[in-house]
Structure 1
Amino acid sequence: MSADSFFDSGLRRGRLGTAHLVFFTVAASAPLTVLGGGVTTMFAVSGNTGAALGYVLLAAVLAVFATGYAAMSRHVANAGAFYAYIANGLGRAGGVAGSAVALAAYNAIQIGLYGLIGAILGEFLSAKAGLDLAWWGWALIAWVLVGLLGILRIDLNATVLAILLGLECVVVVIFDAVAFTHPAGTAVSFAGIDPGNLFTAGFGAVLAFTIASFTGFESGAIYSEEVKDPRRTVARATYIAVAFTGLFYAVSAWALTVLTGPENAAKDSAEAGPGVVFGALEQYAGTVVADLANVLFITSVLAALLSFHNGVARYLFALGRERVLPRFLGATSPRSGAPLAGSLVQSTLAVIVFLAFAMAGRDPIIDLFTWLSGAAAVGVVLLMTLTSAAVVGFFRGRPGPETLWQRMLAPVLATLLLGVVLVMLLINFDALLDPGTASYMRWLLPAIPVVAGVLGLIWGVALKSARPEAYARIGRVAEDALHEPGLHPSPEPDRDRWVRAGQR
């Protein structure tokens, strides 16, 4: 087989349906991890008894974002997702800036998860089987598994995620049932979903944690070249992911306040952490269920690792195919259709970073996971803000069946709302960090995706004069995936506003 076949085979079309994309997007946010880690930490840090409604509030904001995002997904099919959206709406150089932010954010959360899985897997197997191995040893085992799955067929990955996601959701439902049937006091308290308890002290911290919990819901467009119906599948999956995660997390967070009593949620979460969830399962559902829940807690992190790994690999594939980055990144496996080079590069980067943290003696959760997931949250919100603005630019002067709400009003509103969320996240970023973290990390970590975006913008501007043929490919639409040649060409020159701004 010739070397060119690795570049010409491309991603496999038509392998994913709406359900597959829902598995990828929801698995990325890892429901059981959100409940056991995110929700308990949110209560412990914020002390806000109405925090459960934070998920509903943010889900509403994301639903507004999804309106324009879904409308544009019917016209733009590219494994680069946000990169292609921004390129087609704000200009090619802007698209490269967006791709840099995306790579920084998604690599950060994916690599950070190796710290989390190494720590919890080591603790569980040490307690249950007497197996003692450093956290990075367990992380290496997970790394091998994720790396192998990453180069296999995408529908096989989706099947693995479906099984893991289904099982962990069952455990979350069992916890909710336990909480509502064993409330603190004599009756179920509604204080946890009282709006008056949300908009009080700690609201900013609640917003920061809920943002982190939703990271990954927006990743459906990454697989737009591999779905059966790009015009509808991405939109449907995104709406389902927003609605499901928003309600699911809100009910589970409320259930925790019912179980502990609203006045005790912060104290119990601070003292026991995930033990609030797993302890209740052991007490009321039995040891077997509790042990199964712990195993699924671990596999939920594994599912998120796999989901983000696939996303990063496809971003690298799109950038390599369009020569924004070295061409070899556009190589796919002739057998599985997976983005082979992108997958291997992501795996290599991940192992270098988490082993560097291990050699430096850093804590896998307090440092590796917390630092990188916080930086990722900033990057994802920044990406969504730019994408909403890009939707407005894309539809301006372009005829089509989209309504005024879809093409302008919702995207403008989403840009404003997400801008506010981004500011709130930056102001309250220290809530995501351990109290003992050095103060300079409060601004250094959020700066990672921002600096990446600036460097990407500079590179995008440089490409216009240094490699015009590569510049012309930026953000191109995979028209064969949309089944309608000529539906939308590469970004028009008059949309390159970021380039002109860089030349002034």
Structure 2
Amino acid sequence: MVANLILEWTIMAQSYGQLAKNHVGFWQVLFQSVSQMGPGLSAVSGLTAAASFAAGAMPLAIILALIASLLGANTLIQFAKKISSAGGYYAFVAHGSGPRMGIFTGWIYLLYQGINAPAMILFFGFLLRSVLDMGLGMNLPRWTWWPFALAAAGFVWYISYKGIKPSLRYSMVAGLIEFVVFVILGTVLVEKAGPHNTFAPFLPASSPRGWAGVGMAMVFGLFSFAGYGAAAPLGEEAKNPKKTISRAVFLAVLIVGIYYVFIGYASTVGWGLNKMSSYASLPLPLMTMAQKDLGPLWFWLVAILVINGTLACITAIHNAQVRVLYALGRDRLVVPERLGQTHAVHRSPFQAIHFQSVINILVVSLVGFWLGSFAGFVFLGELMTLSTLMVHIFANFSLTRYYKRLGEFRVLVHGIIPALATVLYLFPIYFTVYPVPNFPDNIPPYVVGAWIIMGGILLVRIFKQSPDRIQNAGLITGDTSEEITG
């Protein structure tokens, strides 16, 4: 029976068209995760937000966020050893907790990644307008973020449509250049600090609010690590995916984490340990410091890299999202069936790319003109936070069930570590609902709740009309070699 189901769905996958197997190597997969974390972007945004709470102890908060992210990455790594699927977390949870939970997870993941790209496109519009104002004193009208954002959306559509390899090659080259220049900038800042270099940034006493400030800063540190799971949806296109995805995710978190700690430390001693309370008062303090301490050439170098890195980040987000849309469309679930088609030449999920590109433009335009480019970015960021943490919690729970069913359960990696990661993820969720934030920050929990209710209604409808579709949700993987139960 199981063999017949696998054969039937494998034939259906071939009729829909498959993604190009064995098409991308380890380094390209690695930079898919690195690019979505946006190391240059986070250096001028996420770390700045962390400094607003921890001040001089910001590097300590980043270290703690690195530890938490490594714990969370364990879940993806353990799943990737067994499952290769474009569905990513959708397929992982389906294998671990059953098709119904898999569909729920895929639905919530659609919200996370579906607004992730528009959020970063909004930030790109804000960033480019701000850079032109700061660097050239152009004083552009406030609405000029919109054409910049549309240009970014068009760029990402084109490079994704041409296939995964060109877009990953772009992400890899952009990421390497970004790393090198920011490390040089950090090294210069550390050298210029001279006798002011100290171990104090790694002590909670350097935060005016002590451990409370460090804890809040850690939340924003975790935001900077969001995206390391972007490698998972490349499971059907990567060479030797069950090893490649695991290694890429671990190294992405570790390398970017060390980079964040170094840049955080360099920013702290470069700005001045006792002056860090004013660090977050500027919109782009690291770029301001590059201009002040190293001259306008460095300002423009950093600005260009952050702009370029933001485009690479959006590209990585888009690549991950459209592959989940492709997997759900291929499984005939939640989204239109045609999204499960691939391009005859480029082997890219072109229908999903077109669909997501339209969503990007609509969300960017509606939210951007409602709240403004930066406030809209923050609003969508809150939605992303709630939805992605829920996806990771479902995955943590499913990992334990999955390995118990296989008879390969190990207490530490399949039990304790996922449980610790879940506890850490509940921390920021708590602060998104209590105390009740001001408008519009109080809206995201209701949006996520409404999205979950919609998913439940769709699930019931699918079950009544075609129960076999739920039974086989997430079944198609890169090797279609495993039965799903639950």
TM-score w.r.t. structure 2 length? 0.90
- What's the CA shift string for 1:65-91, capped at 9, x where partnerless? 333422221221211110011111111
User: Which position in structure 2 is the counterpart of 1:384?
Assistant: 392
1:43-442 alignment, distance < 5 Å: 43-44=51-52, 46-125=53-132, 127-128=135-136, 132=140, 134-183=144-193, 186-197=195-206, 200-270=211-281, 272-274=282-284, 276-324=285-333, 325-360=335-370, 362-366=371-375, 368-400=376-408, 404-405=409-410, 408-429=411-432, 439-442=438-441
Q: CA deviation at 1:258?
A: 0.9
Q: Does the residue aligned with 2:56 lie in a helix, a strand or coil?
A: coil
Q: Does the residue aligned with 2:346 lie in a helix, a strand or coil?
A: coil
CA contact (8 A) 2:104 2:456 kept: yes
Q: CA deviation at 1:156?
A: 0.6
Q: CA deviation at 1:399?
A: 3.8
Q: Which amino acid aligns with 1:336?
A: H
Q: CA deviation at 1:47?
A: 4.0
Alpha-carbon distance change, 229 to 384 in structure 1, aligned in 2, over 3 angstroms: same
1:484-503 alignment, distance < 5 Å: 486=481, 488-489=482-483, 491-492=484-485, 495=486
Identical amino acids, percent of aligned pairs: 20
Report how many aligned residue pairs link the two structures. 469
In 1, the alpha carbon distance for the partners of 2:127 and 2:167 equals 23
RMSD: 2.5
In 2, the alpha carbon distance for the partners of 1:190 and 1:181 equals 15
List structure 1 segments (4+ residues) > 4 angstroms apart after TM superposition: 4-7, 129-133, 195-199
User: Which position in structure 2 is the counterpart of 1:499?
Assistant: none
In 2, the alpha carbon distance for the partners of 1:234 and 1:71 equals 10
User: Which position in structure 1 is the counterpart of 2:473?
Assistant: 474
Q: Which amino acid aligns with 1:67?
A: N
Q: CA deviation at 1:380?
A: 1.5
TM-score w.r.t. structure 1 length? 0.87
User: Which position in structure 2 is the counterpart of 1:39?
Assistant: 47
CA contact (8 A) 1:323 1:470 kept: yes
Q: Which amino acid aligns with 1:234?
A: I
CA contact (8 A) 1:10 1:337 kept: yes
In 2, the alpha carbon distance for the partners of 1:202 and 1:282 equals 29
Which shifted more, 376-385 or 195-204?
A: 195-204
User: Which position in structure 1 is the counterpart of 2:4?
Assistant: none
CA contact (8 A) 2:389 2:425 kept: yes
User: Which position in structure 2 is the counterpart of 1:25?
Assistant: 33
- What's the CA shift string for 1:90-128, capped at 9, x where partnerless? 111111110111111112221111111112212334554
Q: CA deviation at 1:336?
A: 0.8
Q: Which amino acid aligns with 1:459?
A: L
Structure 2: any 5+ residue segments left out of the alignment? 1-11
In 2, the alpha carbon distance for the partners of 1:80 and 1:456 equals 17
CA contact (8 A) 1:117 1:298 kept: yes
CA contact (8 A) 1:323 1:473 kept: no
In 1, the alpha carbon distance for the partners of 2:419 and 2:79 equals 18
CA contact (8 A) 1:179 1:258 kept: yes
Alpha-carbon distance change, 429 to 254 in structure 1, aligned in 2, over 3 angstroms: farther
In 2, the alpha carbon distance for the partners of 1:421 and 1:321 equals 34
CA contact (8 A) 2:105 2:391 kept: yes
CA contact (8 A) 2:57 2:200 kept: yes
In 1, the alpha carbon distance for the partners of 2:139 and 2:51 equals 32
Structure 1: any 5+ residue segments left out of the alignment? 496-504
Q: CA deviation at 1:287?
A: 2.2
Q: Does the residue aligned with 1:379 lie in a helix, a strand or coil?
A: helix
In 2, the alpha carbon distance for the partners of 1:359 and 1:278 equals 27
